[in-house]
Copies of this chain bind each other. A is one copy, B any other.
Amino acid sequence: MNVNCLLFNDFETLDLFGPVEVFGKVEGYNINYYSINGGNIISAQNAQINTENVNAIGAGGILIIPGGKGTRKLVHDNEFIQKLKYAAEKSEWCLTVCTGSALLAKTGLLDNRNATSNKIAFEWVKSNGKNVNWKYTARWVADKKYYTSSGISAGIDMSLGFIFDRFGEEKVNQISNMMEYEWKNDKDHDPFAV
């Protein structure tokens, strides 16, 4: 199974590398890094990461879309949104973290689906997907092939939730023990929704 991460400048570092850590612990899952033009991408925390061109993403696999301040410009970038839409459509699963759901919403693929996002940026995210059933109080939301999570660290819990849905509790316990991480296993419990 390919885990295909779609990076862009000023993405939020942990949005991406939380899920990457979880999926990197699944045998047979291969993590790959892409961006709109390939080459070096710089995260909001100054990490410079080498990527392949998004056109090289094959069919199937898991697409991961982080959030971060880079999303504020990208929701207005039609080329990016169209390429994201194409990549999301051909993926078997599509997961967003934080304001990554604003980018996915902009493609229209979340229309009439349940989804969530970062709590601080929630109103802005909603404005990018007026036909999405936004759930404010949720650690993460799963709707068919689309998983969306709340802010930053919620991506770790969503990814473990995804593993639970595919492989069951034993696998989740194995991975979270290796990570020394206490999984927040209730997707509807959201202490940051106030």
Contact = CB atoms under 8 A, between A and B. Distances in A.
User: Interface size class for chain A?
Assistant: 35 or more
Interface string A1-22: 0000000000011100110110
A12 B18 CA distance: 11
Interface stretch (A26-34, A84-92, A128-136): A26-34
A44 B17 contact: no
A151 interface: yes
Given A120-B178, A178-B151, A192-B177, A46 B17 contact: no
Interface of A: 12-14, 17-18, 20-21, 23-24, 30-33, 40, 44-50, 118-120, 150-154, 156, 177-182, 184, 191-192
